[in-house]
Amino acid sequence: MNVLSRDHSDDALQRADYLNNGEIVHSIDDNDGIINNTNVFNSISYSTDNKSCENSNLYNINRMHIRNKVDNLCGTKSVNKSTHQTCYKEINKLYINKDDAEEVNGQLSANVNIDDCANSKDEINIVYSYVINDLKKEMNSHNEFISMRISIDGENYILKKKVTKLPFLRHDHFLCLTKTGCILAIGGTDGKKKYALVEKYCVEKKKWKQINLMHFSRSSFCGICTEDNNLYVLGGEGNQHILKSVEYYDSKINSWISLPPLNYVRHSASAIIFQNMLFIIGGKDGIGNYGRVHKSVEMLNLNEKNMKWTMCKPLKQARLGLATIVFKDKIYAIGGSTGVKELSSVEIYDFKTDEWQEGPNLNYPRSNFVVFLWKNHLVAYGGISQNKGSPLKCAEILNEKTTRWTLLNEAVDM
């Protein structure tokens, strides 16, 4: 595999799917829309990415989205509506059908909870994906819908949660909970090939329904779901190469749009949006023991007419499988892996000084976990840690007034 080369056209879409005018059309059953009344959950969203060290038995906790009814878009609190130029809207379009387009644009707003999950204003809903190698060294994909409540008892933080299993076979995919509460699974791999599929979870049938296709098959990529139900996917592993391609799903015109490619191929990075600027941080440019782990940071200004990725101040520590979030108008790059071991270190980027500074360390080194905002606190949940020898189910919380992470005490499940 040419792991360091630029990405090439992927074989996810057959050339027969291309029309003479260069558009891509994918027809879907008109009876199935992206968002149905019975398939949605109350919630808001942030995502993190991907791979741990390759020599770990716990391979990959890779796709996590959080939505709660209190906080704004985690990691994108100041996000504004993206503006894209006509030239990008005129090429590489991918359509579903008219009914789906109307639903994606937010005309359906009814919400239903999985298994009558509580509908508290303080409830946080997560979709969370991880993979464990069994004794036969086969990767078993685990996907969960988790409802959480966090409370304070004196100086202690209490976590209650309810976990609902979601059946799914692929791994290294992007699991997403949209603003309207729809659960989507995008891309990923079955261990043999990568996929461009976009699937929606049907609660009643407990099955996934294909509703769309990305331009490129990919796994281990960054994903972002915005408050406008738009999607960004960045980089990842293709069937032949590491990718630097970037795609944007515009729910208003119901199409996938190709954005400018990254400067460097990378998978297992993390991406955020802040003030209409799209950032990709860290990651790796090779597979297995090949390639390097990135310190580099790239930014795409979505307000510019002629958009292109520019290089920003690099991290002090190269890392993949990290979590990123914007907190108090600063970017937090938390944990991750060097490719050999997990990290507990935290770096904080200050836009005013254009510098990365050291932040408070996590209690547990962890990669491929999720971080979100709760009442002016940062919360880190899940991930992989070689020190624990199993997927981490514990959570840590950082109060804005303190300089240390505190472990949450887990109470009886909801």
Please give the full DSSP string across 211-268, using - where no structure is assigned: EEE-SS--BS-EEEE-TTS-EEEEEEE-SSSEEEEEEEEETTTTEEEEEPPPSS--BS
Contact yes or no for 131/391 (Cβ under 8 A): no
* End-to-end CA, the chain: 47
Contacts (Cβ under 8 Å, ≥6 apart) of 239? 10, 11, 12, 193, 194, 217
DSSP state of 367: B
CA dist 48 and 84 (Å) reads: 24
Q: For residue 117, give the amino acid letter.
A: C
Pairing of strands 156-166, 409-410: parallel
**Quick check: helix, strand or coil at residue 86?**
helix
Contacts (Cβ under 8 Å, ≥6 apart) of 21? none
Domain over 15-410 is classified CATH 2.40.50.140? no
Measure Cα distances from 120 to 39, 108, 110, 372 in Å: 19, 21, 16, 18
**Extents of the domains making up the chain:** 15-410
- Spans in the chain with pLDDT lower than 50: 1-64, 68-119
Beta pairing partners, 159: 150, 410
Q: Quick one: which of 363, 297, 359, 302 has its CA closest to 328?
A: 359
